[in-house]
């Protein structure tokens, strides 16, 4: 009888932990201006094509830090023949939702050293955090 009770308790704990893990949605440039419904503590992964060898760089230009927190950002180069110079890759941002409300994140792809230039690309993500 104790054996079944322990298995029952373990199963309930396991399902509770699985149900509490944050949801992660992945967004890329094909999702321009789409709106996403999320819960507080969910994660958002934004993947944007980039090529830093050209001087262009993705930058976050608008974010409500009271609703969204940047957790990590990284760059992953595409796998190519090692003799190829200047190939692109992906800039990856990971965010966590920290408060309820409607908000957005705006990114610009530009050359930071060209102060007066219009951004080459703009990318927006709209969020409804519940």
Give the CATH number of the domain where residue 37 resides. Answer: 2.60.40.2020
Question: In this structure, is residue 43 part of a structural domain?
Answer: yes
Reply yes or no on whether the pLDDT at 102 is more than 60: yes
80 or 55, greater pLDDT:
55
Write b or e for each residue in 57-77: b if 16 or more Cβ atoms lie within 10 A of its Cβ, otherwise e: bbeeeebeeebbeeeeeeeee
Question: In this structure, is residue 81 part of a structural domain?
Answer: yes
- Say how far apart CA 75 and CA 118 lie, in whole Å: 23
pTM equals: 0.81
Question: In this structure, is residue 14 part of a structural domain?
Answer: no
Question: In this structure, is residue 10 part of a structural domain?
Answer: no
Which pLDDT value is given to residue 113?
A: 94
pLDDT classification of 17: cutoffs 50, 70, 90: very low
Q: Tell me which DSSP letter residue 21 carries.
A: S
Which pLDDT value is given to residue 116?
A: 93
Task: Give the tens place of pLDDT for each residue, 78-100.
Answer: 888 777 778 899 999 999 999 99
- Say how far apart CA 100 and CA 68 lie, in whole Å: 9
Question: In this structure, is residue 9 part of a structural domain?
Answer: no
Which pLDDT value is given to residue 121?
A: 97
The number of domains in the chain is 1
Taking residues 101-118, report their average pLDDT: 96
Strands 121-129 and 101-110: antiparallel
What domain range includes position 102? 22-129
Q: What are 27's two structure tokens?
A: 């967004």
Question: In this structure, is residue 2 part of a structural domain?
Answer: no
Reply yes or no on whether the pLDDT at 23 is more than 80: yes
- Say how far apart CA 22 and CA 19 lie, in whole Å: 8
Task: Give the tens place of pLDDT for each residue, 28-49.
Answer: 999 999 999 999 999 999 999 9
Question: In this structure, is residue 7 part of a structural domain?
Answer: no
Q: Phi/psi class of residue 33: alpha, beta or left (left: φ > 0; alpha: ψ in -120 to 50)?
A: left
Question: In this structure, is residue 58 part of a structural domain?
Answer: yes
């Amino acid at each position: 009888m104790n054996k079944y009770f322990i298995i029952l308790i373990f199963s309930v704990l396991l399902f509770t932990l699985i149900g509490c893990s944050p949801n992660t949605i992945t967004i890329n440039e094909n999702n321009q201006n789409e709106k996403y419904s999320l819960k507080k503590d969910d994660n958002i992964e934004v993947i944007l094509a980039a090529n830093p060898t050209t001087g262009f760089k993705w930058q976050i230009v608008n974010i409500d830090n009271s609703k969204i927190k940047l957790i990590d950002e990284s760059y992953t180069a595409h796998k190519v023949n090692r003799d190829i110079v200047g190939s692109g890759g992906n800039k990856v941002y990971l965010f966590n939702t920290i408060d309820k409300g409607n908000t957005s994140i705006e990114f610009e792809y530009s050359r930071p050293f060209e102060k007066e230039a219009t951004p080459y690309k703009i990318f927006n993500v709209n969020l409804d955090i519940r």
